[in-house]
Amino acid sequence: MAETADVVIIGSGIVGSSVAYNLAQQGCTNVLVIEREAHQGKGSTGKSMGGVRAQFTTTVNIQMSIYSINFFATFDEVVGHPADYRAHGYLFCATTERHLDYLKTNRTLQQSLGLKNVELVSREDILGMVPQLKADDIIGGTYCNTDGFVDPHSVMMGFMLNARERGVRLWLDTEVTGIDVDNGRITGVQTSRGHVSTPVVVNAAGAWAAGVAKMAGAELPVEPLRRQLVPTEPFDGLPKRFPMVIDMSTGFHFRREGKGILLAWNDPEETPGFKTDFDNTFVEKILTRAAARVPCLADAAVNPRRAWAGLYEMTPDHHSIIGPAPNVKGLFFVNGFSGHGVMHSPASGRITADLVLSNHSDLVDAMQLSVERFKTGKLLHETAVL
């Protein structure tokens, strides 16, 4: 019998899983999620640092974070599976007046949108949280105690398990190889398992989304950019619990991961492309920045074989693209999270389900996130990208 679905979602990472969950929540359960890998989480979701924060610079990103972090706080009860949300906070440390002014301006906007718990902190406050920092050049910062971390794999599985309990189907090991469009409308998808008839396709293909959009003849400005993370071996030179610390002078940031420390830094020399191999020369680059801000990290042992790389899915203005494709009726994008797809997954899934089912979302002004902004020039400009 020919396969049919009311909605086909391409990609079962954290974003596709959240869309499936939100559609099912709103009563749309004849949904088929198609994933080319044999297991979920093999794309960017399984490579993520799991950071969640509302300390952004644009209204829409702050709104999406506030909704999402509130959601993570009750995820276990609401979804029925654990998210492992840990509200350990994010601590931004400024070493220049320009950076401190930037944090103050952002805080004013964040507070006006309801995020009252973003605090301005002094060098002494910062040292109170992480005494091991070299802080002689730190002049202040901001701290938000509801920022923190989740376990991306658990969130993705929770969304998908809940959706499947409601009737959503998941095909693993199945690649979407083509999208059928007739008279400007979606009619189905071609897959390695055969044809599926559907009037609606949601592109949740992460860093591969531009290629999927092309299958339907649509343009999507999303490109892959490698990001690398380095975990240390067990290290007790830093507190057992402390916030994600962001050194604004270099962009180096770190948090505790189990018994070790997870080190992150976005190399400005990285160039776009599907590179997922870890570059061993990155270890020295990141350890130099780590030891400059946290001298005791010079003693931390690192095994490069435990380090990894994954892909950010970048857009020109570092904001996600959510909503219908302008020229292909029935095609929806939920792409281009530019490094924030885990933290924004509750909001992006909800907005997408709203748009698919009722053409409107009351969560945010979704028009701003439309792909058409790249034609009209109404870009959003997020600068707090880590």
Ligand X SMILES: Cc1cc2nc3c(=O)[nH]c(=O)nc-3n(C[C@H](O)[C@H](O)[C@H](O)COP(=O)(O)OP(=O)(O)OC[C@H]3O[C@@H](n4cnc5c(N)ncnc54)[C@H](O)[C@@H]3O)c2cc1C
Smaller CB distance to ligand X: residue 345 or 370? Answer: 345
Q: Does 14 bind ligand X (CB under 6 A)?
A: yes
Distances (CA, A) of 167 to 29, 272, 356: 6, 38, 18
User: Contact between 229 and ligand X (CB under 6 A)?
Assistant: yes
- Residues numbered 151 to 180 that lie near ligand X (CB under 6 A) are 175-176
In angstroms, give the least distance from the CB of 137 to ligand X: 26
**Token couple for 157:** 């599985």
The residues that bridge with 186 in the sheet, in sequence order, are 181
Among the candidate windows 11-19, 56-64, 324-332, 353-361, which touches ligand X by CB under 6 A? 11-19
| Minimum CB distance to ligand X smaller for 13 or for 260 | 13
Q: Is 55 one of the binding residues for ligand X (CB under 6 A)?
A: no
Residue 50 lies near ligand X (rule: CB under 6 A): yes
- Does 57 engage in binding with ligand X (CB under 6 A)? no
How many chain residues bind ligand X (CB under 6 A)? Answer: 39
Does 91 bind ligand X (CB under 6 A)? Our answer is: no
Residue number with CB closer to ligand X (227 or 373): 227
For ligand X, the closer of residues 262 and 300 by Cβ is: 262
Of residues 140 and 310, the one with the C-beta less far from ligand X: 310
84 binds ligand X (CB under 6 A): no
Strand pairing report for 90-94 and 140-144: antiparallel
Stretch that binds ligand X, among 69-77, 125-133, 295-303, 337-345 (CB under 6 A): 337-345
User: DSSP strand E in 198-307: where?
Assistant: 201-203, 223-231, 244-247, 253-257, 260-264
Handedness of CA 356, 360, 361, 364 (dihedral sign): positive
Instruction: Using DSSP, state whether 224 is helix, strand or coil.
Output: strand
Among 129, 342, 351, 364, binds ligand X (CB under 6 A): 342
Tokens read off for 382: 């997020």
In 3-state terms, what secondary structure has residue 105?
helix
Q: Minimum distance from CB of 348 to ligand X (Å)?
A: 8
* 205 belongs to the binding site for ligand X (CB under 6 A): yes
Q: What share of the chain is helix, strand, coil (3-state, %, to 5)?
A: 35, 25, 45
Distance CA 295, CA 106 (A): 29
CB atoms within 10 A of CB 119: 14
* Residues 286-325 as x/- pattern, contact with ligand X by CB under 6 A: ------------------------xxx-------------
Does 141 bind ligand X (CB under 6 A)? Our answer is: no
Instruction: Calculate the alpha carbon distances from 203 to 12, 35, 76, 188, 331 in Å.
Output: 10, 11, 27, 13, 7
Q: Is 340 in the site for ligand X (CB under 6 A)?
A: yes
Q: Find the binder of ligand X among 47, 253, 256, 373 (CB under 6 A).
A: 47
Q: Are strands 148-149 and 308-314 parallel, antiparallel or unpaired?
A: unpaired
Report which of 310, 327, 312 is spatially closest to residue 375, judged by C-alpha positions.
Answer: 327
Q: Does residue 35 touch ligand X according to CB under 6 A?
A: yes
Q: Which stretch binds ligand X (CB under 6 A): 47-55, 88-96, 113-121, 367-375?
A: 47-55
Q: What's the CA gap between 6 and 201, in Å, rounded?
A: 9
CB of 24 to ligand X, least distance (A): 17
Which of 7, 8, 9, 10 lies at the binding interface for ligand X (CB under 6 A)? 10
User: Rounded CA gap, 333 and 247, in Å?
Assistant: 34
Which tokens belong to 76? 């276990």
Counting every residue, how long is the chain?
386
Structure tokens at 363: 């969560």
Q: Which C-beta is closer to ligand X: that of 102 or that of 337?
A: 337
Classify residue 109 as exposed, middle or buried by CB count within 10 Å of its CB (0-12, 13-18, 19+).
middle
Q: Point out which span in 126-134, 323-331, 334-342, 376-384 binds ligand X (CB under 6 A).
A: 334-342
In the bound state with ligand X, the residue whose beta carbon lies nearer, of 128 and 304, is 304
Contact residues toward ligand X (CB under 6 A) are 10-16, 34-37, 42-45, 47-51, 175-176, 204-208, 212, 227, 229, 310-312, 337, 339-343
